[in-house]
Structures are given as C-alpha cells and as structure tokens.
Structure 1
Amino acid sequence: MKIAEAQKVLIADDDAVNREVLGELLKPEYTVLLAKNGVQALERAARHQPDLILLDVMMPDMDGYEVLRRLRADPQLAHISVIFISGLDRPEDEAAGLKMGAADYIVKPFNQTVVMARVALHLQVVRQRRMLERLANIDGLTELANRRRFDEVYGLEWQRARRGKRPLSLALLDIDAFKQYNDRYGHPAGDRALRSVARAAAGAMRRPADLAARYGGEELVLLLPETGALEAGQVVSQLLEAVAALGIAHEASSVAPVLTVSVGGATLEPGSQETQAALFEAADSALYRAKQAGRNRICWHEPGP
C-alpha cells in the first residue's frame, strides 16, 4: 500500500500562500486536505479523519490553540496528531503548544526539508501506533476482532442506534458439538475448523460497519448496525449455508455429518428502550433455544408487546 493511500495530512492556515506551498510540498507523498480557518479545520477533521494536522496558530475567529482544545475534547478526534506552524518564535510559545498536546512546533518561515522530515517522522509514529492498536484488537487464532474490540464497538454502535433511532442487530454463533470434534480429530484440527468458520463469518459481513468477532472459545458474535431483524436473518442464513458448504467432516456430531453452527440473534428496534446488556442477553437466550431445538438452526428473539 502506498503511503499516499493510507495517510492524510490536513493543512489549516489562513494564509493562501502557505497553504499552497505546504500542499505542493506534501502532495507527492500524502493525501492533502486544506482548510482556511479553524472552523473549516474542525469540520474537515471530523469528515476525513486525517492522520496529521499542520495547524497555524494565528488565525482569525478561532486560533490554533482553540482548534487543538476542541480536537482534544472530542473523543472521535482526540487521537489526531497536530504540528503547530507559527510565526511566534519565543520558547514560551513553543512550550505552550507542546503542553496543550501538540506533537511538534515549527516556526515560520519554515524550511521545507525540515517540514518534510518532521511530517514523515510523526506519520511513522502514527503508523506504528495504529499497528499496535490493531494487534491489540485482533484474536490471534481466528484473526477476527477480539472480545475487547467487540465490547468497544458494541457500546459505540448501541449508543449511535439509540440516538439515531436506527435498528441494530446482534447474533451469537456457536459451533455445534465442538468438544466432540476436538476429541475426535484433535485440537489442531479444531483450530483449523474454527478458523474456517471465522473466515465464513467475516465473508458474510457486507458493509464496513459490520463486525464479526471471536467472543470466546468456539463462540463468535456478529454485529450488524442499521440492520433490521429480517435483513439480519438473511445474512445469518447465508452464513449457515456457507459453513455447511465448507464440508468439514464431523463424524462425532449427532446433528449432521459435517460441521454446523447454531445462531441466536436479537434486534434493537428504532425507539426501543432496551438496554445494551438486555439486547445481548436476548441474543444469548435465543442461542440457547436454538441449541435446545436441535442445533444447526437460527433462533431470533421476538420482543414482547
């Protein structure tokens, strides 16, 4: 992957010449976004989520310090690295910017070679940080999101669904007779089977916001934002078919001659007051009913009147 495809730099400066010079300097290597004032900088930061902001300190209406304060106060933007670029060259000005949380401070008139070197350095730090964050959120065996990541995303999506009065569907998936599979074929084979099911689950996720995660043991969880019960049921049905189509022999199963899964699901309907914990418990109860009914099937929670 090219750096320009992966990393974005937002240049916020009220001086058109500075914006143009910095933009032309960085365009060959990075995706460049421009803002001519503080308000525009915040709007574009929220919309495009840049990896780095080159931020002028002295701007009309809203100066760079205020922009940085607002960035750090917003959970969705607080992680963005900021380099101040300013004509204020006193040590106390630089110290003030760094104490506020800026990653660096470059004094105008700037040296282009220095700007490029510092931008490259800070973007390398961003890449390394994101790599570590990704590793911390990935289950090592299945390469799906891990439980920690699921809990984090589930909380955010549940709040978003409640605020926007949009549906949110949740499904728990359990591999049928997995203990017997491990006993019959051995744990290395069990790991391979679990990875195959995990790949099928990941392949069933249709949109970037959909999430498949390993919740624990042989249990996976699917999170489908802005998805009603009918559509979620279709997604899960296709997943059951995909798992059966893998044709993984399971002679120790009383359900089928091949590996199968049971799924329980629930949907937060628009306007519902159901809690985050209650929605998960509803899906878990539906999974229990699917197992009691013979496994290799889907049970979906039907909300009461």
Structure 2
Amino acid sequence: MDKNQGMTALPTVLVVDDEKQNRDLLTELLHEDCRVILAKNGNQALERAREQQPDLILLDVLMPDMSGHEVIQTLKNDDATRHIPVIFISALDAPADEERGLDLGAVDYIAKPFHPSIVRKRVRNHLLSVHHRHLLENLAMIDSLTEIANRRRYAEVLESEWRRCARNAAPLSLAIVDVDHFKAYNDHLGHAAGDRVLRRIAQAMNGLLRRPGDLVARYGGEEFAVLLPETDADSGYQIGNELRQQIEALAIAHPASPVAPVITVSLGGMTIVPAGGDVDPRLFSGADAALYAAKAEGRNRAFWRLGD
C-alpha cells in the first residue's frame, strides 16, 4: 500500500517461513490482494522488512537459527520497523503460546494447520486497518482549509531534510510567504472570500513546485513556508520570485490593497548549508527578516539572504 496514494497500489505483505511449501501456499492465497515478498529465515526477514517496509508481516514462530519471537523483538526495537504489524502463524497452538506472541507485539495469531479462507480474511482485515491508519496519519499532516501540508508536517520534513542536506553538504533554502494586506481583504470582502483566496494561493504554489523534495506548507494564518532542499540562494530567489509572480497572475481582485488592485504576496528567503543534526534557528529567522525587508520596501516583492 502506497502510504501517500491510499489503495491505488497493492499493499505489501512479507511472508516469513522456513518451509517452502508454506511460503508457496501463502503466496498463492494472497497474490490477488497484495504484493507478496518472501523470506525463509529470520535474518532475511529483518533485512527485507527494513528495505521494503511492508504493510504487514506473516511470521512463522519455529525457525532455525532465529525464532519468530526473536525476529519480532528485533523488529519492535528498531524505529524503522516497529510500526509494521505482525501476524504469527505457528504450529504452537496452546493458549500460552498465543498469549506470548501477543505480548511480544503481534496483532494476531493463526495456528497451523490454517484454513486458507480464514487467513485471507484476517490478512484483508489487518490491511484495511493499516490503510485507515495511514489515512489518519496523512490527515494529521494536512491543513484542513488549504489541503496542503500543515505546520506539523513542515517541521517534520524540515528536520529530515536538514539532516540529509548536512550529510551531503548541500544547501537548504526556506521561503516565508505572506499575503499582502490580507486583514483588509477579509474586512472588505469577508472571511469566506478570504478562505477561498488562501486555497487558491496554496494550490498555485503547490502546482508550481515539481521536485519531490520541495514542500509548501501553511505555517499559520495567511503565512506559508516553502522548503527547497538542495537549492542555492540564486535558485531559491528565482523560485520564490516565480511563486510571487504566479500569485499576482491569478488576478484575484483586492479592492482594499494599497499595493495593487489584485492579491499579492511578499516573500523572504534564507539559504544555509546545514551542519550538525539540529535545525539552526537562523534558517527561519533569516527568512523572516528577509520577509520583513520585503514588506518594508513596499511589498509584492521577494528578498533573499545567504547564511554564513
């Protein structure tokens, strides 16, 4: 299941069993509902779980070298895999065995020999739960008004991109975008009209940025943050100015603006080559200072700063 696209792609299930016959049977059972990947021992299971990030793991308990119990303990101790739900499939069918499996973090326990239709239905139910969880996680990262990333998502991506750019000694650029005289617009035309303007601006900026790593987020009120990884100051300024021009070109009437007869924005940007694991607050403060300068110079313009 693609975490961002819902059910448009088949979910992935990792089947872990040292018996080829069981792997083949489970593959035959599940291949219409999901993409099945296989592992025949615990080490393979851990490797594939980290690399493939499956939506669900079907895990045998009795395996040589590393038992299913050891595998799930390792999975749950790793931040990269602890979130992946695990169903134990085991010949150990005593209540104490099932209780131990659930105590270790399994979401379900199926005894061997299993009934094929029951396995299929249980897998479908758990994949549906995973799908719903992903939807809720995505919703928590989306601004309900503009339907773009919210401030929480911005903070999460900023931390991740800061570390990535630090590893690669690559520049990271941030732009802060503010709608010019937006309070006057709301006072003159009403908050419902203001909400429509924010949605149009958000979608216009989102549509202009095409690189997978770029992010537009609503930071708060009429303010937006634009994160541009691996983008130097010259490129950042060019992109920022294109965003400003794109919004002005929407030609949304603003009869109360002293700047222009249409909605405009002011933009301030900052570029830093990250160092260390923690985000330097100068990235935001520098962009905010550049935004202040853009406003002081008359608004409807972009200013950019370069960090040390």
TM-score normalized by the length of structure 1: 0.91
* Equivalent position of 1:5 in the other structure: 9
Paired AA for residue 132 in structure 1:
L
* Equivalent position of 1:211 in the other structure: 215
| 8 Å CA contact 2:165, 2:171 repeated in 1 | yes
1:43 aligns with 2:47: yes
Identical-residue share of aligned pairs (%):
54
| 8 Å CA contact 1:11, 1:19 repeated in 2 | yes
Deviations 1:55-96 (A, max 9, x none): 122333333223222322232322111111122223222211
* Equivalent position of 1:247 in the other structure: 251
**Structure 1 counterpart of 2:150, from 132, 146, 153:** 146
**Structure 2 counterpart of 1:293, from 274, 297, 301:** 297
Deviations 1:244-302 (A, max 9, x none): 22111122222222111111122231547884322222221221122112222222222
Q: Distance in 2 between matches of 1:111 and 1:215?
A: 52
| 8 Å CA contact 1:3, 1:30 repeated in 2 | no
Matches within 5 A, 1:85-234: 85-234=89-238
* Equivalent position of 2:270 in the other structure: 266
Deviations 1:88-110 (A, max 9, x none): 22322221111111111112222
Moved more, 166-175 or 214-223: 166-175
Moved more, 99-108 or 35-44: 35-44
Paired AA for residue 161 in structure 1:
C
| 8 Å CA contact 2:58, 2:89 repeated in 1 | yes
SS of residue matched to 2:218? strand
Q: Distance in 1 between matches of 2:165 and 2:66?
A: 33
Paired AA for residue 150 in structure 1:
Y
- Return closer, same or farther for 1:127/1:196 CA change in 2, 3 Å cut-off: same
Paired AA for residue 256 in structure 2:
A
Q: Distance in 1 between matches of 2:116 and 2:16?
A: 17
Moved more, 101-110 or 144-153: 144-153
1:32 aligns with 2:47: no
Q: Distance in 1 between matches of 2:106 and 2:184?
A: 56
* Equivalent position of 1:20 in the other structure: 24
| 8 Å CA contact 1:4, 1:29 repeated in 2 | no
Where structure 2 has 5 or more consecutive residues not aligned to the other structure, the ranges are: none
Q: Distance in 1 between matches of 2:207 and 2:35?
A: 30
Moved more, 109-118 or 160-169: 160-169
1:64 aligns with 2:68: yes
How many residue pairs are counted as aligned between the two chains? Answer: 304
Q: Please provide the CA RMSD for this pair.
A: 2.2
Where structure 1 has 5 or more consecutive residues not aligned to the other structure, the ranges are: none
| 8 Å CA contact 1:3, 1:29 repeated in 2 | no
